[in-house]
Amino acid sequence: MTKSSTGRLPRLEDVAELAGVSHQTVSRVVNGHPNVSKTTREKVEAAIAELGYRRNTAARSLVTRRSQTIGVLGSELSQYGPANTMLGVEQAARDAGYFVSIAALRSVSRDAILDALRHFLDQAVDGIAVLVPHTETLRILEEFNPGVPVMAVGSLGNEAVSGAMVDQKRGAELAVGHLIELGHSRIGHVAGPADWIDGALRTEGWRAALQHAGLQDDLLFEGDWSAGSGYAIGRQLAAERRATAVFVGNDQMALGVLRAFNEAGVRVPDDVSVVGFDDQPESSYFTPPLTTVRQDFAELGRRCMDTMLKEIEAGAAVSSTVVTPELVRRESAAAPRH
C-alpha cells in the first residue's frame, strides 16, 4: 500500500480528493452501491488504484458493529457438488465485500456441527452458511439459536433457517423425462446415498417422472457417489439387461457405469442410454460424451448471499430460494433399438 506525502497510509478522504468527488461517493463505490454512474465509478476506482487505498475494516466494524465475515461450514468437500457449492458461496460472499471463514467437517455428527457453529460465533460472524447435505442437518440447526442469520445451502430450510438449493427433484425429472421422450420404458436409477438430501430428492424425481408416465420404478440401485460404486452396479445392470436406460445420480457414478458397460460389451447408447447429474467438466470427454444435468453453483452462491444479506441488513424473515437446473444433451442417450 502506497503512503501519502505525509507518511501515512491513504485514507478515504485522499481518494475523494484525487477523484474530485465527495467521500460519500467513494464510500458508495467501495461498498458496491448501485447508485453511482459508470464515469464516477471509474474515476474513483482509478484513484483507489493509484493511491493503493484499502478499506479499514477494523474501523468499519467498530462503527457498524459487524465483522464483515461470513462463516461457511462444509462437509464431503472431496465430492464435486459440495466442493463447487462451497466455491460458489465463497465467491459470492467476497463479491459482496465479506471475508469468509471456512470450517470443514471430518465427520458429520450433531456434536461436530454444533462445535463448528459455536466456533463461528466466537469469531463474531455476521451470518453462517451451512453446506452439510444430510437430512439430519436441518434438525440440528433448528435446535441451535445462534442469534445471526443461518442459511442451509442445499435445502429449502424450515421455519427457523433459510434455505438455498438447486432443484434436485426437477433435475431428475428433466433427465428421466428426456429418456421417456426418447421412447424408453424400462429406466433404472443408480442413486446416491439415501441420507443425503440430494440423493433422496433425485430418487424422488426419478420415481415421480416414471409414475407420471405410468412406468415401473423397480430398478433402483444405491451407490455412494463414487465411480467404484457405479462400476459395481453397472456390472450388475449389464448382466441382468433389464433396463434400456439408466439415470445415474452423479457423473462420477456414471463414469463407473460406462466402464462396466464397455467391458461387458454393452454399447452406449445403442443398447442402453445413460444420463448423469452435475455436468462436471470431464463429462463431455467421457466415452461417449455424457448427457447430464447442469447445476449453476455460481448462481446458487449469489442467491445464498442475497438472501443472507437481506437478513443481515434489514432483518428480513426466513425464506428460501431455488435455482433451476438445466439438461445438457450429449451422445450417451438415444432412442431404444427395437
Percent helix, strand and coil across the chain, each rounded to 5?
45, 15, 35
What is the per-residue pLDDT across 291-337, written as a single tens digit (0 to 9) for each?
Answer: 999 999 889 988 888 888 888 877 777 788 999 999 999 999 999 98
* Candidate from 64-68, 75-79, 251-255, 268-272 with smallest mean pLDDT: 64-68
Q: HSE (CB half, 13 Å, CA atoms) of 213?
A: 21
Q: In this structure, are strands 292-294 and 326-328 parallel, antiparallel, or unpaired? A: antiparallel
Domains and CATH numbers, the chain: 12-55 (1.10.260.40), 64-165+297-323 (3.40.50.2300), 168-295 (3.40.50.2300)
Check whether the bond before 288 is cis (ω within 30° of 0). Answer: yes
In the DSSP assignment, the letter for residue 233 is H
Asked whether 308 and 70 are in contact (CB, 8 A), the reply is: yes
Report the pLDDT value the prediction gives residue 7, as an integer from 0 to 100: 54
- Does the pLDDT at position 271 exceed 80? yes
Position 64 confidence tier, pLDDT thresholds 50, 70, 90:
very low
Q: Is the pLDDT of residue 272 over 60?
A: yes
pLDDT for the residue 289: 98
Could you give the CA distance from residue 322 to residue 53 in angstroms, rounded to a whole number? 38
The pLDDT of 157-169, averaged and rounded, is: 88
CA angle (146, 124, 114) in 5-degree steps: 40
| Residue 292: other Cβ atoms inside 10 A | 30
Query: pLDDT tier at 58 (50, 70, 90 boundaries)?
Result: very low
Over 80: is that where the pLDDT of 20 sits?
Answer: yes
152-175 mean pLDDT: 90
Q: Look at residue 59 and tell me whether its pLDDT is greater than 60.
A: no
292, 281, 244, 233: which is closest to 266 by C-alpha?
Answer: 244
Q: Which residue has the higher pLDDT, 108 or 242?
A: 242
Return the closest-CA partner of residue 219 out of 201, 200, 240, 195: 240
pLDDT of 62 reads 41
Q: Looking at residue 338, what is its pLDDT?
A: 66
Angle between the N-to-C axes of helices 12-19 and 38-51, in degrees from 0 to 180, rounded to the nearest 10: 120
Residues 77-121 pLDDT 10s: 888 888 888 888 888 888 887 888 888 888 888 888 888 888 888
